[in-house]
Each structure stands twice: as structure tokens, then as C-alpha cells.
Chains A and B, each alone.
Chain A
Amino acid sequence: MGEGRKKVEIAEEIVRAIEEHLAELSADSVEEYVEAVLRERLLTEGFLSAYSPEEEKEVEQRLRDLGYLD
């Protein structure tokens, strides 16, 4: 278990379904797929931010440099 990661348990049938279809789901592992799906869901619901405050500041500065914002 890497730094900044936590273990969760999910239904075995979901794990099996993902394992059986990893190639179609374009993921290398069950964890990779589950994390991507959950991240998308949380972003869409607004429960997770696309950017950290520092990243957003940096992206806005880049957009300003590029002339999109003024």
C-alpha cells in the first residue's frame, strides 16, 4: 500500500467483472479502473476538484500568458 492510499473492500462480483474485461476497459488493473471511475464520478458531482488551488492558479496564469484571460 503506497503513501496516500487506503484499502477499501468492494463486492467480489464487481472485481471479477472488471478482471474479466480489463482489456475492453483499457485498464491495467482493477485498482486503476476503479480509481478512474470513482474520480470521474466525484468530479462530475463537484465533490472533488479538478485542480488543487496551486494548480488552478498556475493554469490561470498560463491562460493569461496565452491571452485567453485578461
Chain B
Amino acid sequence: MKRMAVIGLDCADPDLIEEFLPDLPALGELIRSGTFSRLRSVDPPITVPAWMCMMTGKDPGELGVYGFRNRMDHSYEGLGVASSARFSAPAVWDVLGRRGLRSILLGIPGTYPPKPVRGLLVSGPLTPSTDADYTYPASLKGKIARWVGDYMPDVRDFRTEDKAWLIKQVHSMTERRFALARKLVSQGTWDFFAMVEMGPDRIHHGLWAHHDPAHPKHDPQSPFRDALREYYRLLDEKLAELLSDLPGGTQVLVVSDHGAQRMEGGIGINEWLIEQGYLALKEYPKKPTRMGELIRRNLVDWSRTVAWGEGGYYGRVFLNVQGREPQGIVPPERYEEVRAELAEHLAAIPDEAGRPIGTRVFRPEELYRKVQGIPPDLIVYFGDLRWRSIGTVGWGRIHFHENDIGPDDANHAPHGIFIAYPRLDKRKERSILEVKDLVLSVMGDE
């Protein structure tokens, strides 16, 4: 039986790694002596559900989890944050635990609240704060405080123009997480170690424009133009320290759940639905207001609403279907026709100069092996994810070149990284859904 360590770097991008490689001796050595492939994420390529898709081998439809927040029922207000309770499929550590193997799990998105495992678990970025019970066993929390002080599940107050402060926060979070990882791998024997560091994602979103000359906001004189490269150097240094602590012969995987790309703008999904007559409000808000707030304040005229949307890195559109939603108006027999028409119109939304932006629109049943829970009726990648979906209403326009809640430079890209050391094979691309079976097979099937 082989011991395995999976080191997850949320949003670590294959092209960026190749670009920075001369500055990354540890990753460079793993790549030269091992395997480096592009890892195709799930759709949507978003932290939740992507990491749990990797760890369970199930796609978002099979898990019934389509993003950080999901419809809990067919009411208009019933949205809930995806906690660990939503992930019922056995994760790789559950399978290993049944074989009597011990796992150490750190910071994996989708693991809060912590479930009992055969081993140790420190839950992921959806941990509300370190006041919560965020470890299994519960007594591990006290040890973490002694080992690394104030552990940071994630960066707080991310949406800031103070880039120097943000960089310091992300570096500090990464240093503490890797310090904890080193402590955890030295706690007795283990068979499987998996961790996820959120820092790459946070630094990409916060500072991509400073790095990418093609970004609309790029300033070649920016004092932060090397921030991404410097962060990857820090990651590489921390990775080297952790690798040196792993027992000899450990199979190492360094993986990410998705990549990153520059964000060119945003499309006001609900503004567009209003303009096109798909969404009707009783009163148009005087200031930008979240869709959830409009629903709560009973300002949506459901008797004239065909569809409404949710924003984020990708768009989600829900149809108001008779007999399904409380005040649905789309007859079930016209559902496919209306959905097809809407998909066609969404895909054709141009930029403000009338140029096509290459939007892709998906039906959940086209993407997934099975569709569980309550999926969006349409999943929308504006500009193939170079444009985000802006859900708030009250702007009086559809196109945006700044996020409605402050600066954000990057969106997600569908390919992450897969590095295996020692070498496994030389495939150029593999799927995130293959990782669980790969781990089980390398560690020795029953």
C-alpha cells in the first residue's frame, strides 16, 4: 500500500505555472521528474462543487450541488449555502477509512461542518469562523490554536482597493495553512493526506490585472505587477518545506480545481431579463438591489415573470414554471420551447459595441450523468467566462466593466493543474472526475 499526499491549490492555473516555472524550483522538480497535465474541471468550474467532485468522483448533477448556494426547494427564496451535509456521496477518505486507512484532511471546500473521519479533519473555507467547531475531532481545534495561533480558513474583507493589505492577508493565510499542514503530517501515522490552499484563487481575483498585459485595467507601471509571481514563489517555498516533511516514497499529487483568466466585464443578467420582458418588477429599484432582496420585499411581479437569474462567476437562470414554482406562468408543455428561446437569446448578447462575446449556454442534462437536487434551468458562461454574471438590479444598464461590488480582475477557466510525483503517466489532459479512482488505484485497490 502506497501513502499518498494530495496538495490542492485552488485556481492554480497551468499557463501561469508554466510562465513562472523558472522561479519555482520545487514545482519545477516535480514537473521535470513527474507528470504535468491539464486537469479538466467540472461545469461550472467553481470551488464548490469542484473539489468535492474531485474527491467523490461525482459530477455536480450527481451530487445535486451546482455552486456555493443552491435552491433548497422550488420556492423563490429557498437558497442555502452548500454545507458538508449536501455531499452524501462517499469521498475518497470515506472509502479509505472503510479499509482501515487513516486520512488527514485540511481546508477542503465542502467539509464544513466537519464529519467524523478515520483520521483528522480541519474544515474548509466555508467555516464561519474559528469560534465554530471546525475540526474532527473537536479537540483538534485547541491544538491548532497552540500550533499556529489564529488559523485563517479564508481571507476576510477581500473586496478592497488596498492591494498591499490584500497581498499581506493572502500570504499570511498561506503561511499559516502550510504551517498547520506540516504539524498535521507529523501527528502519528497516516495513509492519505489532502489539503486545499485558497490563496491562489484569492490572489488571482484580486491582482490579475496587475499581471496580465491583455487585461483592460492593466497598468505596466503598477507596483503590484509581480504580485502573482511573488505569491507563486511563496507557494513553491511552502510546498518544498511540506514535501521535505513527507515520509519517503509518498506519492504526491499537486492539483487545482480550475484555472483562471482575465475578466473583461460583466453582464447584468436580471437587467437583461427585464429589458427583454422575461422578468417583471412591481417597482424598479432606485439603487442597485440584490435579486434576493427584491424577492423578499415582494417586488417581483411573478404573474408576468418568465425567468429570473442569479449572478456570480457564471449565470444561473430559473424559469417560473406552472405547477413547479409557487406562482409559475410557463406552462410545462412550453417549458422546452421557452428554455430554448431564452438560451438562444442569452447566447447572442453582444458587448456594448454590438460585438459577439462568445457566450455559452448549457442545459444541466447536457452536462451531467444524472441531475439531482434543484439545478438551474440554464447555466450561462458569459463570454465563455470572461464576463461575470451580475445579478443585482437598479443600474439601468446591462454591461459593466467593474464588478458591482468592487474590484475583481479574474474569472475561472476550465482547466486546472495535475502534477504527479513520482510520474504516473504522460497524458496531456485528464478529468477532475478521475482523481478519486486514481488515488484508490495508486494506493492499492482492495
> Which residues of chain A have a CB within 8 Å of any CB of chain B?
24-29, 32-33, 35-37, 39-40, 43-44, 46, 50-51, 55-56, 58-60, 62-70
Closest Cβ of chain B: how far from A68's Cβ, in Å?
5
B interface size (C-beta, 8 A): 51
Report if B136 contacts A (CB, 8 A).
yes
Report if B389 contacts A (CB, 8 A).
yes
Across the interface, name the chain B residue whose C-beta is closest to A63: B68
5 cross-chain pairs, A with B, having the tightest CB-CB distances, nearest first: A70-B311, A50-B83, A55-B128, A43-B85, A70-B391
- On chain A, the residues within 8 Å of B132 by CB distance are 55
Binding site of B, secondary structure by majority: helix, strand, loop or mixed? loop
Closest Cβ of chain B: how far from A47's Cβ, in Å?
10
Question: How far is B310's CA from A2's CA once the two chains are assembled, in angstroms?
Answer: 44
Report if B158 contacts A (CB, 8 A).
yes
- What are 6 A-B pairs with beta-carbon distances under 8 A? A33-B137, A37-B116, A62-B158, A63-B81, A68-B67, A69-B312
Given contacts A59-B81, A67-B313, is CB(A40)–CB(B69) below 8 Å?
A: no
B312/A70 in contact, CB under 8 A: yes
Closest Cβ of chain B: how far from A45's Cβ, in Å?
9
Given contacts A33-B116, A36-B137, A67-B312, is CB(A50)–CB(B388) below 8 Å?
A: no
> Which residues of chain B have a CB within 8 Å of any CB of chain A?
46-47, 67-69, 80-81, 83-85, 88, 100, 102, 112-120, 126, 128-129, 132, 136-139, 154, 156-159, 202, 205, 290, 310-313, 388-392, 403-405, 408
Question: How far is B118's CA from A33's CA once the two chains are assembled, in angstroms?
Answer: 11
Closest Cβ of chain A: how far from B63's Cβ, in Å?
14
A51/B128 in contact, CB under 8 A: yes
Identify A62's interface contact among B83, B156, B408, CB under 8 A.
B156
A26/B67 in contact, CB under 8 A: no
Given contacts A43-B83, A63-B69, A67-B403, is CB(A28)–CB(B137) below 8 Å?
A: yes
Closest Cβ of chain A: how far from B197's Cβ, in Å?
15
